[in-house]
Structure 1
């Protein structure tokens, strides 16, 4: 599987919106992050009641705790998880079980909200946790807690956006929500961001649109020749969602450079409306299966 850029075209009108199959489907959210970033306080704020144990001591939440929340006629299943420490610091058996519990909660989630501390944003472990979400193919929202303590919010927001897009190339454009779980400032922006990225994660594009896009992309920026021979990209289709997955049928697919595959993924994300979600691209060496054989 392989994961800069043709001129931008407007394709969204022809692309199917990313709505779930069942409007009553429960949207499952895992709230994860380093210890003591305010995960339980955030869940309590969303629920409007003191459902989780909170306090200044890191590690009060030992297990993943799930609670149903209804917002604007949609049900959300919130999982507040134990903080995910570096493996070297996971010494107690109880903490080992808590980290495993957090990973399981993420595995069963549709959207993972990675909560980071605005006072110490994007430490190495924050990025490792976010990268794990993307590698697992989940939709990602970054929530920056304790935003009310920041003196230069505009400058920091721009810095965080740049660092996020640079560090997580597989999720460029992922939602970034600044909030204070303690005061409630900005919390109202979180669920709309979750719902929006969930729709993108479920988005499906018609085969006709994909192949028009592929043809124009190849015309402007053809694949490089490898050992003097051109690689022909013949046909493209979407083979799945959650995350969006695509297959391209070509000659000598194994020879296509990784850089060109990334170029295609970046173009898909930008032109066809997939900001902020991981994209899977499968290259297959066979003919277009929909062509009539003579």
Structure 2
């Protein structure tokens, strides 16, 4: 059984820096601004020979009302309840503060192991200041520098016995469960070969569908993710721009394993002035680059603004499959007219990708979630579609017969043959003499025909022209 470790502490003590250090990636956004992290984020960490799940949490605020800080505190408390051990991080240079003491009291009430981390303790001065952590009554503070990677050996020594206890307890629980199961089985039910599983097939790890939820700020992305998961996993509220990091959550829809990624809202570059928002935007664009399917969430009361189209074009340019979700649909009075206008605007503004799936839904009530996931899985299959070379060349012969390529310098361009060179998105290579002289209009004609004949709606289709270099070709330049 894997160990789960929560990194907790007041804002701006270096929790996300430690999280990134343990997982070996710059996954969490790090900035000098206090309170950058708001949702809890999971990662697979490795320290020496020890592997464990680590949770990055929001900076703890002593608030219990309906404010954003109070909702962030609930996220942190959920991480503490889930974890086997908490790392309480304080700033060795700033010393112990009243909020650190308040947090220490809360962790003692959890009755789970706590390791006290004195971060930013690089150098002799920092190590000496770390001793102030004894005031918290949580044992010996470990001097550590997450930014420079110092003190990780001491952290390993502190985590290793807790991990060993976790493994031992897991074995005891498994043995007890097997004993209980055997007690329920009568002797007549026992089979001498029941324990022989050498001939059983090895389990196949499911492939994750990377599903990114993107859109402008405050269109309901996190609310939609919570509705899909069936729990308040992500921080939501009326405030715009609550989500700052891209949060990845492993999830299952039917038999399909999905990695669901909630992202920060994207605004126009001209409106972005703060460094933190630039970092959040870069994180969202990186999520789009690595996604398989992207759901662009629109506010049904303010649909398909210029920024929505900018995001959609970015998704298409990256070659990702796109689904458009009109959220807050329950607030629309004339739904038929609104849907008609939306589809017309999409066809007019995104002509390079015909047939983009459009789903109307409400993340608040859960209406339309089945249709959304049906559209996601359908476009995912299209995005992975492969067409045989024989079918492609029959198509090429037909399309050339219907509309031959134009003349160039008095000679007609010969289209030799076509083949699919990759999927995700469907990408085809067309070999031709004078390929670089084929007009753009004819290229668009071929792509449109490919989309229609081979049923590739809503997904980017790429057609790469390659020149044939046949020494016996009399039309060769």
Q: TM-score of the superposition, structure 2-length normalised?
A: 0.55
Residue equivalent to 1:120: 302
The alignment partner of 2:244 has SS state of coil
The alignment partner of 2:210 has SS state of strand
**Matched ranges for 1:114-153 at <5 A:** 114-153=296-335
Decide which of 412, 422, 426 is 1:230's aligned counterpart.
412
Residue equivalent to 2:282: 100
CA distance in 2, matches of 1:130, 1:264: 23
CA distance in 1, matches of 2:410, 2:339: 47
Residue equivalent to 1:35: 217
Contact 1:269 1:275 in 2 (8 A): yes
Contact 1:249 1:287 in 2 (8 A): no
1:287 CA displacement = 5.5
Residue equivalent to 1:161: 343
Decide which of 356, 361, 364 is 1:174's aligned counterpart.
356
Residue equivalent to 1:221: 403
Instruction: Determine which structure has more spread, i.e. the larger CA radius of gyration.
Output: 2
Decide which of 252, 272, 287 is 2:434's aligned counterpart.
252
Decide which of 238, 251, 276 is 1:56's aligned counterpart.
238
Higher RCO (CA < 8 A, seq sep 6+): 1
1:164 CA displacement = 0.9
**Alignment deviations for residues 165-204 of structure 1 (CA, whole Å, 9 cap, x no partner):** 2211222101111101111111221111111101100000
Contact 1:30 1:79 in 2 (8 A): yes
CA distance in 2, matches of 1:98, 1:156: 31
Residue equivalent to 1:270: 452
List structure 1 segments (4+ residues) > 2 angstroms apart after TM superposition. Answer: none
- What is the count of residue pairs matched by the alignment? 267
The alignment partner of 1:212 has SS state of helix
Residue equivalent to 1:10: none
CA distance in 2, matches of 1:229, 1:154: 52
CA distance in 2, matches of 1:159, 1:89: 27
Unaligned runs of 5+ in 2: 1-203, 471-477
**Alignment deviations for residues 238-266 of structure 1 (CA, whole Å, 9 cap, x no partner):** 01111110011111111110000000000
CA distance in 1, matches of 2:341, 2:446: 27
Alignment of 1:183 with 2:359, yes or no, is no
CA distance in 1, matches of 2:386, 2:299: 34
Unaligned runs of 5+ in 1: 1-21, 289-294
The alignment partner of 2:340 has SS state of helix
1:23 CA displacement = 8.4
Decide which of 82, 95, 108 is 2:264's aligned counterpart.
82
CA RMSD of aligned residues (A): 1.2
1:227 CA displacement = 2.6
Q: TM-score of the superposition, structure 1-length normalised?
A: 0.89
CA distance in 1, matches of 2:305, 2:282: 21
